[in-house]
Chain A
Amino acid sequence: MAMASSSFVYVTYIRAPQRKVWDALTKPEFQKQYWFGMHQQTDWKPGSPWKLLFEDGRVADMGEVLEFDAPNRLAIKWRNEIRPDFKEEGFTRCVMSLENDGELTRLTIDHSIDREGAKIITEGISNGWPKILSSLKSMLETGSALARFKA
Chain B
Amino acid sequence: MRSDFVYVTYIYTTPQKVWDAITKPEFAKRYWMHTNVSDWKPGSRWEHRHGDGSGKVLIDGEVLQSDPPHRLVMTWTRPDRSKEPSRVTFDIADFAPGLICLTVTHDRLEGDEAMASSISGGWPKVLSNLKSLLETGKSENIWLTKGKEG
Binding site for B on A (CB under 8 A): 10-15, 99, 101-104, 106, 126, 130-131, 134-135, 137-138, 141-142, 146-147, 149
Is B110 positioned at the interface, with any CB of A under 8 Å from its CB?
no
Pairwise interchain contact A146-B10, C-beta atoms closer than 8 A = yes
Give Cα distance in the complex from A12 to B144, angstroms. 16
> Which 6 A/B pairs are nearest by Cβ-Cβ distance?
A134-B10, A11-B124, A13-B128, A130-B8, A149-B96, A101-B145
Is B30 positioned at the interface, with any CB of A under 8 Å from its CB?
no
Pairwise interchain contact B140-A15, C-beta atoms closer than 8 A = yes
How many B residues touch the partner, as a band?
Answer: 20 to 34
Pairwise interchain contact B99-A137, C-beta atoms closer than 8 A = no
| A14, A131, A134, A147: residue with the most chain B Cβ atoms closer than 10 Å | A134
Besides A101-B145, A106-B145, 20 new A-B residue pairs in contact (Cβ under 8 A), listed by A number: A10-B124, A12-B9, A13-B132, A13-B140, A15-B132, A15-B138, A15-B140, A101-B146, A102-B140, A126-B6, A131-B10, A134-B131, A137-B128, A138-B12, A141-B136, A142-B12, A142-B135, A142-B136, A149-B95, A149-B96
| CB neighbours of B9 from chain A (8 A) | 12, 130, 134
Choose from B7, B8, B129 the contact partner of A13 (Cβ within 8 Å): B129
User: Given A13-B145, A104-B140, does the pair A135, B128 have CB atoms closer than 8 Å?
Assistant: no
* A-B residue pairs in contact (CB < 8 Å), sample of 10: A13-B128, A13-B142, A15-B132, A99-B146, A102-B140, A104-B140, A135-B10, A142-B135, A146-B99, A147-B96
Q: Which residue from chain A places its CB closest to the CB of B8 in the assembled complex?
A: A130
Give Cα distance in the complex from A12 to B129, angstroms. 9
Give Cα distance in the complex from A104 to B138, angstroms. 12
Q: How far is the CB of B109 from chain A (nearest CB, A)?
A: 15
Is B11 positioned at the interface, with any CB of A under 8 Å from its CB?
yes
Q: How far is the CB of A142 from chain B (nearest CB, A)?
A: 5
Give Cα distance in the complex from A75 to B136, angstroms. 31
User: Given A11-B124, A103-B140, A134-B131, does the pair A149, B145 have CB atoms closer than 8 Å?
Assistant: no
Give Cα distance in the complex from A74 to B50, angstroms. 37
Give Cα distance in the complex from A127 to B138, angstroms. 27
Give Cα distance in the complex from A130 to B140, angstroms. 21
Q: Which residue from chain B places its CB closest to the CB of A102 in the assembled complex?
A: B145
Give Cα distance in the complex from A137 to B140, angstroms. 15
1-48 of chain B: CB within 8 A of chain A:
6-12
Is B125 positioned at the interface, with any CB of A under 8 Å from its CB?
yes
| CB neighbours of A13 from chain B (8 A) | 124-125, 128-129, 132, 140, 142, 145
Give Cα distance in the complex from A145 to B132, angstroms. 13
Interface string of B102-144 (1 = CB under 8 A from A): 0000000000000000000100110011011001101010101
